[in-house]
Structure 1
Amino acid sequence: MQSFIALYGFLDLVLRAYLLATQSVVVGGVAFLTLVLSPLDGKLDVEEAPIARRCLRILFWSCCASVVGEIVAVGVLTAMLVGTLQVDFAVAASADAVVSHFIAMILSGALALYARLDARSFFMWRMGAVALALLLACAHVGVTHAASRPVASALLVTTEIVHVLAAAIWIGGIPFFLVALGMTKRGEARRFIASRFSRSAMWAVGALIIAGLLMMTRHTPDLTALYETNYGMLLSTKIVLLFGLLCFAAANLSTTRKLWRVSATPIRRLLRFAEVEVGLGLVALFCAAALASASLPIDGGAERTSLSEIAARFAPRWPSFHSPAYAELSAAKAASSVAEPQTSGPLSPADIAWAEMNHHLAGVFVVLMGVFALLERHRRTAPVVRHWPLLFLLLGGVLVIRADETAWPLGPIGFFESLRDPQIVQHKVITILIATFAIFEWQVRRGRFKSDWPAFVFPITTGAAAAFLLTHYGHTEGAEEVLIAISHTPIALLGVVSASARWLEIRLSDSVAGRIGGYVWPVAFMLSGVLLLLYREA
């Protein structure tokens, strides 16, 4: 039980992100079917008629995924309450958060039954599905800051509901928009679907921004909290991701307006940009999940750093490649385990040098990969430098050995015992993503795959690693952790840029946007490497 409790923070973060994603797709699907496809009922030709059935199928499986996630969330939260509060099962199961998850599970199941209806019946009874989707959004708000305040504010709860609904209508509706637009053959139907969804998305974006600004003013006492606390850093990251989403949305809005004037306007770029919006939206939802676990600055419970501390930490300094012997580290002098944690004291000079060496080595690898990736674009150098993904495999090996000096293979804590520590688990996950990236991308560069899907391992693993890095310290509140989060956030955001650019390079390889993407991600790699080279632990 102690091991489970130690991992609960990480499990809670992953579950929150998973449920946010699945329920956004559920609510977004209901909104898309109601606002976009319902007016088209009976107006589509024979080839386009299956669009609604395909969307209902996606809605059904999204509801099923939400039900499974809620069942796991109920079990995990109940077990945590029983283990920490020493209460019986009935008391733990009656907690407000557990009840909210249980209600969301029932609502998701009811919507799954709705999604099994044929298209005509769903459109006829669509207001029932809309009511269930609204209740699902309300149930989710039951596990957010707005509802967990000592005295819940009706204004904040309402604002949170609007925020969740707006995000779902916009981001959760995009997968259905992609399916519908991809299946239409006639320019008139494409024009109608694109314009209807764009209109609903614009209203959703407006509501999202207004609700977000209102919650920000209520949760953060001043603007300095945006960079002096973990909550503020995550919120600032969400704002940056929102800006990226709005850039792609603006480009798609321009295409939609052209489509309205000329029905034969190509929609390929619109579809590919919308795919990138989905990816950015998922990362933003991951940040939102971490926000729900972070202490609010307005409560005074979150430790803060200061601008002077930030300036001192990030003053430029040449990277150091001196690594102390393992025997000099604090981990070598203390045989404590994760199961019996001790109060950690300040880092020793050897600990600091060890951690900085890890980041500086990673910086060298990442800069070299970016340089080699650019050189690969030239015929003369391509045969030699196309093996650059192997550097990532080498980097993964370095991280396995050096990333967690307290654990296997160097430290006194065994491999399985170390998995009780959420920070070590995240390191292992990121290392696995790096190794997966390296193996697949190397084979892609060598032309060993006949199908196209292995090329997408690059953007998917890079985006996933960036999401984990963005929230790597989101569940801790120490002032030192805030400084580490500040240093990791730009690197993670550059990872999101790399993933998006590589996706566009693959999906729009014969267009200007794809060619630009092919230059953007290597440059983003090099910038990430430079930031790693400048990293300071203290």
Structure 2
Amino acid sequence: MALLVDIFGYLSVILHGLVIVAQSMTLGGLLFLLGLLHPLAPRLAQGGALVQRAQRLTRWSATGLLLAELATTALQVSVLMTTVDLPFTNVMHASFAVSGGVKMLCALVIAVGLRGSVLTSGFARATLLLIGIIELAAATVTTHAFARLDDNALLMLVEGLHQFGAAIWIGAIPSFVLVLRHLEDRESLRLVGARFSRMSMLGVACILLSGITMCVFYIGDLPGFYGTAYGVMVGAKIAMFLALLALGLGNLMVTERLRRGGEAPVMRMRRFAEVEIGIGFTIFFAAASLTSVPPAIDLTTDRVSLHEIAQRNAPAWPRLTSPDHDTLAISQMQAALDRDAERNHQVAQSATIPGSGVLAPRNAEDIAWSEYNHHWAGIFVLLIGLLALLSRGGVGWAKHWPLLFLALAGFLLVRSDPEVWPMGQEGWWVAWRDVEVAQHRCFVLLIILFGTFEWSVRTGRLRNSHAALVFPLLVAVGGAMLLTHSHQISNVKDQMLIELTHTPLALAGVAAGWARWLELRLPGRGGKIAGYVWPACFMLIGVILLWYREA
């Protein structure tokens, strides 16, 4: 149980992100069925079969919501009972537990209710819609709005509107893509595309209206936007939202051509919708991260100023030489403990206890060590992007560029956490208790996986058509994980300045992953353009890493 408490913060963000994804797909699938597919089914070829497929997807989404919410609630209940020593019955009266119970019950009803030809009954449709509204209302209890002392009712309404907009647009896209795969005649494509475009516009309007309102109440001013972790994460969400709007605009142009009876690239609409799903889900994980930090308007001190940002990002030559391991703060502390233990004929204590919640000390050499790691990682990534471009240009030997990922993974595994084996005294397995160490190792594993798969694909060792998709998916997942990555640094401003660097890295990673996806999946000129975009994104990541500073 102690280990569970240690990693609670990071686990709660990941699980909450899964809850938001499953909730949006459940509500979005339900709205897609009730507002689009069921009314249009009589006019579509194989309309009944399409309804059944969409129902099945929504049932699975509801089941996923039930399981994710169960895991989230169980985690929170377990940690609360352990840390506060409250009995189970008292904890279950907390608002998060009540909300979680309501959401699980609603998900169960939706999963069970969407069977057979239930949508033919008007009463069943109205009941399912009501259950969806109840689930949405319960979800707002776990947002910042519920905890506000002022304008509580207004903000909860706005939060509900925001989640409704996300569901009717992003959450419904998987159902839309599923249906598109089975539509062949132009009239069916025109009907479904036009109706979904109107649904998406409603979702965008809801997100814009609620998002602007929440920015006013939760951020308040421009310094709160760029000077706090909350504001920076909102900025990341806005950047991804703009990317979704651009993709949505491309699909709107296709549906307009279909509506006018002209020729339209339907394949492009499908591929853009797939990317919208990926970026939309990344936004959901960013939203989950927002729940772990206070709104910017509540953080009146320790904000980062524009002068501090400019000072930190002033041009400087990359650090390509590493300080000695013995000069790091942890190494010096451990050496002092070892000397004291030897003098007193005792067993030396460990300078750090992974997962204890006590932040490790840092000195100038620790900062130099971290900068050295980032700058050499930047060189690796810059070379990867450059060689990928050369490979695309026909340079044969450059096709082995994915092997650089394996070298990068080895470098990060050894250097990321100097207090842990093989460089430090902390054991390999016990170090998993430390959240930051666990995150670093997950990133290393992702790098090894997509490097291995991409090299195998490039050299013909893997010929399965789906194997090539592993690389873009894992790159995009890595970018999403970086948005949830936390740094255990006691100085709030230093932590914030590091987040300002890692956020564009995450966004560039997400862009690279989905651009590569389009290169593989989108035929014609669009795929060729995407084939140049993702190596450029890697080169941008390399430049940002070379620019990285901690002092």
- Shorter-chain TM range is over 0.9
Percent identical: 37
**Counterpart in 2 of 1:260?**
259
In 1, are the aligned partners of 2:230 and 2:293 still within 8 Å (CA)?
yes
Structure 1 residue 140: Cα displacement: 1.2
More deviation in 120-129 or 360-369? 120-129
Give me the whole-angstrom Cα distance separating, in 2, the residues matched to 1:102 and 1:475.
Answer: 33
Alpha carbons of structure 1 residues 162 and 342: separation in structure 2 relative to 1, 3 Å: closer
Q: What are structure 1's unaligned runs of at least 5 residues?
A: none
Task: Please point out which of 347, 366, 378 is paired with 1:363.
Answer: 378
Cα distance in 1 for residues equivalent to 2:311 and 2:2? 38
Residue in structure 1 matched with residue 346 of structure 2 by the alignment: none
In the aligned structure 2, how far is the partner of 1:479 from the partner of 1:55?
47
- Counterparts of residues 116-155 of structure 1 (less than 5 Å): 116-118=115-117, 120-121=119-120, 125-150=124-149, 153-155=152-154
Letter in 1 for 2:12: D
Distance 1:475 1:131 in 2: 44
Structure 2 match to 1:49: 48
For 1:337-486, list aligned pairs within 5 A: 337-345=353-361, 347-379=362-394, 381-382=395-396, 384-473=397-486, 478-486=492-500
TM-aligned CA distance change 1:474 to 1:359, over 3 Å:
closer
Aligned residues: 533
Q: Is the 8 A contact 1:187 1:263 kept in 2?
A: no
Distance 2:430 2:151 in 1: 40
Q: Secondary structure at the match of 2:275?
A: helix
Return closer, same or farther for 1:403/1:123 CA change in 2, 3 Å cut-off.
farther
Q: 1:233 to 1:296 in 2, by over 3 A?
A: same
Contact 2:23-2:62 at 8 Å conserved across structures: yes
Match of residue 503, structure 2, among 489, 493, 500: 489
Contact 2:257 2:263 in 1 (8 A): no
Q: Structure 1 residues 24, 372: CA separation in 2 closer, same or farther (over 3 Å shift)? A: same
Aligned to 1:534: 547
Instruction: State the Cα distance separating 1:410 from its structure 2 match.
Output: 1.6
3-state SS in 1 of match to 2:147: coil
CA distance in 1 between partners of 2:121 and 2:60 (Å): 16
Q: Which digits, 9 at most, give the CA deviation of each residue in 1:449-504, with x for residues without a partner?
A: 23211111111111111111122138989221110000111111111110111010
Q: Does 1:213 align with 2:203?
A: no
Q: Using the TM superposition, give the Cα deviation of residue 122 of structure 1 relative to its aligned residue in structure 2, in angstroms.
A: 6.1
Alignment of 1:33 onto 2:36: no
TM normalised by structure 1 equals 0.96
Tell me the C-alpha RMSD between the 2 structures: 1.7
Task: Return the offset for 1:123.
Answer: 6.4
- Alignment partners' CA distance in 2, 1:447 and 1:370: 20
Any idea what SS the aligned residue of 2:429 has? helix
Query: Shift in Å at residue 281 of structure 1?
Result: 0.2
Show the 5 A alignment for 1:16-27: 16-27=16-27
Whichever residue aligns with residue 448 of structure 2, its letter is A
Matches within 5 A, 1:91-106: 91-106=90-105
| Aligned residues of 1:48 and 1:183 also touching (Cα < 8 A) | no
Q: CA, structure 1 residues 493+525, in 2 after alignment: closer, same or farther (shift >3 Å)? A: same
Find the counterpart in structure 1 of residue 537 from structure 2: 524
SS, match of residue 392 in structure 2: coil
Specify the SS of the correspondent of 1:463: helix
Alpha carbons 2:3, 2:433 under 8 Å: kept:
yes
> Which has the higher mean CA deviation after the structures are superposed, 191-200 or 297-306?
297-306
Greater shift, 445-454 or 368-377, is seen at 445-454
**Counterpart for residue 291 of structure 2:** 292
1:364–1:529 contact (8 Å) kept in structure 2: yes
Q: Distance in 1 between matches of 2:121 and 2:320?
A: 64
CA distance in 2, matches of 1:453, 1:102: 39
* 3-state SS in 1 of match to 2:264: coil
The C-alpha deviation readout for 1:410-468, integer Å capped at 9, x for no partner, is 22222222112211111111111100011000001012223211111111111111111
C-alpha deviation, 1:43, in angstroms: 2.6
Answer with 67-76 or 467-476: which moved more: 467-476
Aligned residues of 2:6 and 2:357 also touching (Cα < 8 A): no
